Chain A
Amino acid sequence: MSLEDYRAVFIGVSFILILLVASPILSLVLPFSSGSEHFSEFWVLGPTHMAEAYPSNVRVNETYKLFVGITNHLGSSAYYVVYLKFRNQSQPLPNVATSEASPLEPFYTYMAFIVDGGTWESPLTFGVLKSSSYDNFVSVDSVSINDVVFPVNVFSAWDAAKNGFYYELFFELWLYNTSSHSFQFHNRFLGIWLNMTN
Chain B
Amino acid sequence: MASAEVSEDEASLALTNAEKDLVLAYQAVLEAEQAGANVSSLVPKLNEAGEYLARAQVEYRIGHFENATNFAGSSRSIGDEVQNAAAGLKTSAFFERVQHMWFMMIGSLAGMILVFLGSFWVWRAFKRRYYRRVLGMKPEVVSGEP
Binding site for B on A (CB under 8 A): 3, 6-7, 10, 13-14, 17-18, 21-25, 28, 76-77, 79, 107-115, 118, 120, 148-150, 176, 178, 181
Interface contacts beyond A114-B43, A115-B43: sample of 13 additional A-B pairs, CB < 8 Å, sorted by A: A10-B119, A10-B122, A14-B116, A17-B115, A22-B108, A24-B104, A25-B104, A28-B101, A109-B58, A110-B54, A111-B53, A113-B47, A178-B27
Shortest 5 CB-CB distances between A and B: which pairs? A111-B50, A21-B111, A14-B119, A113-B46, A24-B104
Contact B39 A115 (CB under 8 A): yes
Verify if B57 is at the interface (C-beta below 8 Å from A): yes
**Complex-state Cα separation, A120 to B54, whole angstroms:** 15
Q: Encode contact with A along B95-117: 1 for CB under 8 Å, 0 otherwise.
A: 00000010011011101101110
**Complex-state Cα separation, A79 to B33, whole angstroms:** 14
Residues of B within 8 A of A150 (CB): 61-62
- B34, B47, B107, B114: the one contacting A120 at CB < 8 Å is B47
Given A7-B123, A111-B51, check contact A18 B116 (CB 8 Å): yes
Question: What is the CB-to-nearest-CB distance from B1 to chain A, in angstroms, rounded to a whole number?
Answer: 11
Residues of A within 8 A of B34 (CB): 76
Question: What is the CB-to-nearest-CB distance from A18 to chain B, in angstroms, rounded to a whole number?
Answer: 5
Interface residues on B, range: 35 or more
